[in-house]
């Protein structure tokens, strides 16, 4: 199992929002939902390699900014074409006021 990696301070991601996180040559999207819980997925849309962090978080979904494909960022499931392939998801947690992901 890989190590936990520091992403940012807890308050750097607003509730119902997403940021881009690059680590070790890979790019991820780190989310907080309406309740403040934190989640992590691959950072690029599985349709055409667009950064999801520029998209819109609504309820449990992230919408790709280019073609409006949607994923459930908690499960990774593709919900709306042109997104057809699920996103990989990764564990995420709060630790001493910081957000960490296990990627």
> Which residues contact other proteins (rule: CB under 8 A)?
17, 47-49, 54-56, 58, 63-68, 70, 80-82, 84
Q: How far is the CB of 25 from other proteins (least distance, A)?
A: 18
Residues forming beta bridges with residue 30, ordered by sequence position: 19, 40
With residue 39 as reference, give the H or E element that holds it: strand 38-42
40 vs 45 by CB, closer to other proteins: 45
Q: How far is the CB of 1 from other proteins (least distance, A)?
A: 32
48 vs 102 by CB, closer to other proteins: 48
Q: How far is the CB of 87 from other proteins (least distance, A)?
A: 17
Contacts of 49 (CB under 8 A, 6+ apart): none
CA angle 78, 73, 52 (to 5 degrees): 85
5 vs 56 by CB, closer to other proteins: 56
At 72, give phi and psi (nearest 5°). -85, 115
């Amino acid at each position: 199992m890989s190590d936990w990696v520091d992403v940012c301070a807890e308050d750097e991601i607003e509730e119902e929002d997403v940021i881009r996180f690059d680590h070790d040559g890979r790019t991820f999207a780190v989310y907080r939902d309406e309740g403040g819980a934190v989640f992590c997925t691959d950072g690029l849309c599985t349709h055409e390699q667009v950064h999801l962090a520029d998209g819109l978080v609504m309820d449990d979904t992230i919408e790709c900014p280019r073609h409006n494909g949607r994923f459930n960022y908690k499960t990774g499931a593709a919900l709306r074409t042109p997104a057809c392939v699920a996103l990989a998801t990764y564990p995420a947690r709060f630790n001493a006021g910081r957000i960490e992901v296990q990627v």
